[in-house]
Structures are given as C-alpha cells and as structure tokens.
Amino acid sequence: MIDDLLAARLQMALSLGFHILFAVAGMAMPCLTVLAEWRYRQGRGPVYRELAHRWAKGTAILFAVGAVSGTVLSFELGLLWPRFMAAAGPLIGMPFSLEGLAFFLEAIALGVYLYGWDRVSPRMHLASGVVVAVSGAASGVLVIAVNAFMNTPRGFELDAQGKLLSVDLWAAFFTPAFPTQAFHMLMAAYSSVGFAVLGIHAARLLKRPGDAFHLAALRLVLPLLLVVVPLQLLSGDLSAKHLAEHQPAKLAAAEALWKTTRSAPLVIGGLPLDGGERVVLGVHIPGALSLLGKGSFDAEITGLEDIPADERPPVLIPHLSFQLMVGCGVLMALVTAWAGYLLWRRRPLEQERTFLRAALWAAPLGLIAVEAGWMVTEVGRQPWIIQGVMRVRDALTPMPGLQYSLLATIAVYVLLGSVVAVLMYRQVLSTPPVPAPDVESHERGPVR
C-alpha cells in the first residue's frame, strides 16, 4: 500500500487535475456567451441568441460542478497540508479571500444572466454576462497568485525558528512569477476552451452540413482563437525566460538538461534515464534552449548537476509533460493558422470537411496541454511546496489513513465526471437544425 505522503500528493493531483478543467471553462465560456449575445443584439440573427442561451446552460452545468470540486480543494488544503496553511495562510489569505468574492459575484451575475432573458433590459442582461466573464477570469487569476507565491515566495521575513516576523501582502501577491503565470493561464483558458468548442461544433457540422447554429459557433470562436493562440505562444516564451531566471531547476527538469551548458540544446521528445543524466531517442537543437530561456544562443543554462541532490525535482514527469504541452500547442497553432487562411480566402467553412475533421481531432489538445502544463508547474517544483522555504513532506498532516481518503475522492470524481459527461452530451445533441440563411441576417436591424 502507498504511504500517506504519496496518497496525499495523488489526491491533490487528482483534485487539481479535475478542477482545472472546470476552472478554465468558467474563465472562457462566459466570454464566448457574451460575444454571441452581442452579435444577436447587433442584429445578426436569432441563431446567436440561441447560441448564447445554450452556451449559458452549458456554462451553468460546468460552473456547478466546478464549485463542488473547488470546495473539495479548499478543504483538502487544510486537511492534507495544515502546516502549509499555518505558515502561508497570512500571506495567501488575501488572494483567496478576493477569489471568494469574485466567485460569489460570478454566481449572482450568472443567475441574472440565466433567468433574466426578457425579464431585464437588453443592456442589463448583456452587462450581467460581462460581469460573469470578468469575475470568472478574475477568479482564475487570483488563484494563480497563490500558486505564483508558492513558486517564487516574497513578502515575508522569518526568525531563526521559521516563524513569521513580518508580512507584506502586496509583495506576496505580486511575486515575480505572477505576471507570466497569470498571462499564460488566461491565454491557456481561452485557447483550450475555444478549441473544445470549435471541435464540438465542427463535429456537428460534419453530420449536419450547412447547419446555421453550428456554423455561427465556428464563425464566433475562430476570430477569438486567431487572437489568443498567438498570445499563448508569446506567454509560453515569457514563461520559459521566467523559469530560466527564477526556477532554473524546473526548466532543467522540463528539458532534461543535466550539465550547465552554454548554447544549451532544446530536446524534442526523448526519454530521460538515470535521473536525467542522459536522454535517449531525443532530437537536440543546438542553442535553442539558451535562446528560449535567455534570448541568446550563447547564454548559459543551469543544469540539474548543479542543483543539490536533495533539491532536484524528478525529471521524467516534467520532461514528458513539457513535451506534451509544447506538442499540443504547436498543433493548435497549425490548426489556427489553417483557419486564418480559410477566413482570409473567404472559403465557406461548412464545405471544408478536411478542416472540420482536423478541428474535431484537435478539440482536446488545449485541455491536454493545460493538464500537462500543471504537471510541469507542480512536479517541477518538487520537493518544495513553497520554493526554498518548505518541503512537501514537512507540510503533510500527521493524520494516518490517507489512502482511504484518496479512494473516496476517486469515487466522488468518477461520479461527478459521469454526470457532467451525460449532461453535456445531451446538451450538444439537443440542438435542433437551423437553416443556413439565418446565420447572418443583417436585414433585421439591431434588436432592442
């Protein structure tokens, strides 16, 4: 049987991996819903009202389950890692409190949006959707502030016994990792959910060629992807440069770099062996890691050999996760570029069946990349729960029997995941066919 430390880590990983899917949906889906309603209010046809209405229903389902999984996470922080909360609570309490405020604001505005159709003024209804979109994004950013503190802790002083002497809440909030992590997570949310939506509606178009409902969805989500996917690539570049400066061990683990090297190579693929001392089956691009990490082909990148042995992160999981994340990102960029070309040439999307099939297969890529990115972030920080301050094992609860807690958590998430899958499947299949001419009905004029 696994020990308590591994059980606690697995339970936290499962909870985070499950919740992050609903978190990114809560950040991105309200934005798409508001864009759909805005088009309807501009007189683009009733199909956009139907689109906003159905997306809002799907958002409500995901929001409800995300609220449950987020509550589980908040309890787990106190029950599994009480020493972490005791030490870091005064520093991370502010972003958590603000996140709770954003969550409640989002819940209230979502209620107005769902039940306010034809009950409040069009401007008020659209404004409530904007509040949902902004507060959902804010919730994600505020949680990222906590994780950024764990990666680059600032804003406190400790005495010789490790107790807090002083706290600077703003310094603890705006840590060096916060700007790049917040930007990267926001773009990841919009691009991953955008691709999921694109794939779902592309699949329906393959079965219902010319269906105005699904065609309208594609015409709405593709311009968003043309903006956020390039920004996601930029945020990835900024994140790599941040890691090179502030978390060199994590970057070295992600790229399986053993020796500190000038003109460090970027490894594509590969399998790390012997704790990262060598990599087999990988393709090395000379100098590319130095360019990615420090903007120069000749820059020096710290290798794992120069990290104390008891502070080195594991290599296999961060490296494979990093490769998976980057690979998914590259494929998403290629599909986005293809879509941009089709839009530029004014090619009818419903007739581009090869593109629709590619969009269908690309639908999960963003969500896979999000999960892989969190694996890099969390496993790459090991053995620290607070980088350089507190180790994971020192934060663990003394309560025994965490294996049973892990099994119970697995059962809960299997049940929740099954319910969500059934509800969302029915939500997608219940869409009635819409004749193609209703997609762009400019003649109607603005709806008031």
Domain boundaries in the chain? 4-246+309-444
Q: Under a CB-based contact definition with an 8 Å cutoff, are residues 126 and 56 in contact?
A: no
Residue 38: which pLDDT band, with cuts at 50, 70 and 90?
Answer: very high
Q: Which residues of 380-404 are buried (b: 16+ CB within 10 A; e: fewer)?
A: bbbebbbbeebebebbbbeeeebbe
Q: What is the mean pLDDT of residues 207-215?
A: 84
Distance CA 351, CA 308 (A): 58
Nearest alpha-carbon partner for 228 in 421, 27, 21: 27
Residue 401 is which amino acid? G
User: Is residue 256 helix, strand or coil?
Assistant: coil
Between strands 300-301 and 261-262, the pairing is antiparallel
Tell the burial category of 179 from Cβ atoms under 10 Å away from its Cβ (0-12, 13-18, 19+): middle
Beta-carbon contacts of residue 278 (< 8 Å; ≥ 6 apart):
258, 272
pLDDT at position 445 over 50: no
Please check whether residue 442 is in contact with residue 44, taking contact to mean a CB–CB distance below 8 angstroms.
Answer: yes
Whether residue 383 has a cis bond before it, omega within 30° of 0: yes
Token reading at 225: 């992807």
Rg (CA), the chain: 23
For 86-109, give the DSSP string: HHHHHHHHHHHHHHHHHHHHHHHH
Convert the pLDDT of each residue in 422-434 to its tens digit.
887 777 666 666 5
The residue type of 205 is L
292 has a pLDDT exceeding 90: no
**Residue 426, Cβ density class (10 Å: 0-12 exposed, 13-18 middle, ≥19 buried):** exposed
Q: Is 178 left (phi over 0), alpha (psi -120 to 50) or beta?
A: alpha
Say how far apart CA 78 and CA 98 lie, in whole Å: 18
Helix (H, G, I), strand (E, B) or coil at 279: strand
Whether the pLDDT of residue 71 is over 90: the answer is: no
| Model confidence at 204: pLDDT above 90 | no
Band the pLDDT of 367: cuts 50, 70, 90: very high
% the chain with pLDDT above 70: 95
The separation between the first and the last C-alpha atoms of the chain, rounded to the nearest angstrom, is 64
Report which residue type is found at 318: P
The pTM (predicted TM-score) of the whole model is 0.89
